[in-house]
Homo-oligomer: A and B are copies of this chain.
């Protein structure tokens, strides 16, 4: 049997490693999580990781790139059926809040954690950030798209950060309508500004 790279069992193991790593990275940060920590979490030897990933750096990068792309896809999908910038942004915000609630580890790792500059990762225009930017660029053509995206995203992420620090108790999904309004309002404020 000359199976290329990755038996079924192998792929499952790889997925298990990624899941465990993601959880630990979200909890403690990438730098504070050792490869041994990840292995111990899975009950395997530390050297076994290296059958599935050539290095910790690649593991982090792959994890990040995969998740980031997936998030971008989900946001675009959420906005897909909606008409009007406000409704589309609203759908995206709702989706983000759902993701934050349903898989907190992944959300934290992807959007709140610091990965040390991520010099390796290049996601192109698949990212959730770009999904928001594209939405707002279309809806508010007179606004600085980058800035509008920044403020809209900031609204949601900072709420999530407050939640992570325990300053906010309610689940994100409950906050979604309010955050959607706030994000839209903030984005709108980026229009019709005569540069002083």
Count this chain's copies in the assembly: 4
Across the interface, do B146 and A150 meet the contact criterion of CB distance under 8 Å?
Answer: no
Q: Interface SS of chain A: helix, strand, loop or mixed?
A: helix
- How many interface residues does A have (CB within 8 Å)? 42
How far apart are A55's CB and chain B's nearest CB, in angstroms? 16
Assuming the A-B contacts A32-B31, A146-B167, A150-B168, are A178 and B190 also in contact, with contact meaning beta carbons closer than 8 angstroms in the complex? yes
Against B, the Cβ 8 Å flags (1 = close, 0 = not) of A13-46 are 0000000000000001101100000000000000
Judge whether A151 and B177 touch: CB under 8 Å: no
**Bound-state Cα–Cα, A178 to B175, Å:** 25
- Once A151-B186, A167-B146 are accepted as A-B contacts, the answer to whether A181 and B195 lie under 8 Å apart by CB is yes
Whole-angstrom distance between the alpha carbons of A190 and B178 in the complex?
6
Residue among B147, B157, B193, B196 making CB contact with A185, cutoff 8 Å: B196
